[in-house]
Amino acid sequence: AGSPEVVPTCERYAVRRLPFARLADGDVAFFERLMPGRVVTGEEVKPFNVDWLKSVRGCSQLVLKPQTTAEVSQVLRYCHERNLAVNPQGGNTGLVGGSVPVFDEIILSTALMNRIISFDKVSGILVCQAGCVLERLNEYLEQQGFIMPLDLGAKGSCHIGGNVATNAGGLRLLRYGSLRGTVLGLEVVLADGSALDCLASLRKDNTGYDLKQLFIGSEGTLGVITAVSILCPQKPKAVNLAFLGCQSFAKVLETFTVCRAMLGEILSAYEFMDEKCMELVERHLKLSSPVSDSPFYVLIETSGSNSTHDEEKLNNFLEQAMASGLVSDGTVATDDMKIKALWSLRERITEALTHDGYVYKYDISLPVGKLYDLVTDMRARLGQSAKNVVGYGHLGDGNLHLNITAESYSHSLLDAIEPFVYEWTARCSGSISAEHGLGFKKKQFIQYSKPSEAVVLMQRFKAMLDPKGILNPYKTLPSAP
């Protein structure tokens, strides 16, 4: 279907520009003196204004590329004094419109802040700048016998600072937990330019409030993350992957129960996708599945230190799953090439969806037993008005990715989806954003997951740390009354 025309965000969502200052020639001259050769203007700014999904677009006229925390500090101090709004941007792989401007905010790109500061092989603690690309970090760590504790489909372009700022989840959360547990420290520049050095490399530090947690998941609205200290696990010596077909979602759930009981400590991922996802991946990306004609597909990864032990456990599980009728077909991979090929069937679903037309994306946490009911109900509700309604995600974490495609953007279709999808989620005590954040697109729906008292407290934190509201405005929180 190709990419739809990208309508400016402010027009599509009828939002008003706040009374920030307008960029002047003197401002550009100041930044050019501060970081010569790293100030982007003119036509080269355009790609920074459009999100990865090509669903929203800003009107920034200036991109700054600092290399150090000191430069970020000077930029924000100047912008604070001038009342210029700033949009922090990492790899720009966000899915909720949080990484691009809404109006003419200055884009502060971390692309050149890509230095690894230190790595301790004994503790497994990595300290690096915020602009390091996730895949490059993982490649560096693998040479040391370690891995990053998170893995995402966008790993080839997303930045670790952006991952932390959005509290990204991804494919390894089942095994290694969330970034809130693995990030040990942060260096952050606040809105007024003051630098907060909480770049601790300690596993245990119980002195006062844990300030880093304020910035993890704050989506660039409270401060700009410039460096990260993160605990990295050792690289598993043995990795196995099973790609299975299940005839119903009930069997997907039961397979997970058996899988968790039999694989225990070596289970590192349990992902699912429906047959519509597989159709799109095969049609648009020309990938081929080794398992066919299943309403649902499950990807199970094990990671351990003893290949013989792990393979025996996995084979015992598969024998039981097949014998009991939970699994109708499947294949197992132990070599890197086949493992990557099987993972690509799951990781590239988002890419396949973008080829299917305009995509309405929802990232929901639900009780696992109800996870797919939302997809079924949405298909019934939308009928022929949608091109495809698909469901996939991290079943082990209770995280559903609901995606709806259409030939082009339609306000009437959006009205049919929202707020129905959020009301449905709230009735099940779920979260309207499991891992993508709220950004620009979802901020007005925060009340479906958080009580009003919590939202007011968040607005107070924002007002205290960013009194002029210059950091990533129009994002994450509804406007304070």
pLDDT at 1: 35
Confirm whether 237-346 and 357-437 share one CATH topology: yes
CB atoms within 10 A of CB 207: 7
pLDDT at 2: 37
Please state the pTM of the whole predicted model: 0.92
Question: Using the 8-state DSSP alphabet, how is residue 448 labeled?
Answer: G
Exposed / middle / buried, residue 258 (Cβ in 10 Å: 0-12, 13-18, 19+): middle
CATH number for the domain running over 9-109: 3.30.43.10
Residue numbers of the chain with a pLDDT score lower than 50:
1-4
Q: How is domain 357-437 classified at the CATH fold level?
A: Alpha-Beta Plaits (3.30.70)
Q: Where are the domains of the chain?
A: 9-109, 116-231, 237-346, 357-437
pLDDT at 481: 59
Q: In what order do the strands lie in the sheet with 296-304?
A: 329-333, 238-246, 296-304, 267-274, 388-394, 399-406, 358-365
Could you say which of 3.90.550.10, 3.40.50.970, 3.20.20.70, 3.30.465.10 is the CATH number of the domain covering 116-231?
Answer: 3.30.465.10
Place of tokens 């401060």: 223
pLDDT at 153: 84
Residue 309, sorted as left (phi over 0), alpha (psi -120 to 50) or beta, turns out to be alpha
Please give the Cα distance from 184 to 228 (Å, whole number). 8
Name residues whose C-beta falls within 8 Å of residue 240's C-beta, 6 or more positions apart in sequence. Answer: 301, 302, 310, 311, 314, 332, 333, 334
Please give the Cα distance from 274 to 224 (Å, whole number). 38
- Token pair, residue 400, equals 């559903």
The architecture that CATH gives domain 237-346 is 2-Layer Sandwich (3.30)
CB atoms within 10 A of CB 135: 16
Give the dihedral of Cα atoms 172, 176, 179, 185; nearest 10 deg: -140
**Range 449-466 burial, b when 16+ CB lie within 10 A, else e:** beeeeebeebeeebeebb
Three-state DSSP class for 276? helix
pLDDT at 3: 42
The model's pLDDT over 370-423, given as tens digits with 9 standing for 90+, comes to 999 999 999 999 999 999 999 999 998 999 999 999 999 999 999 999 999 999
pLDDT at 257: 96
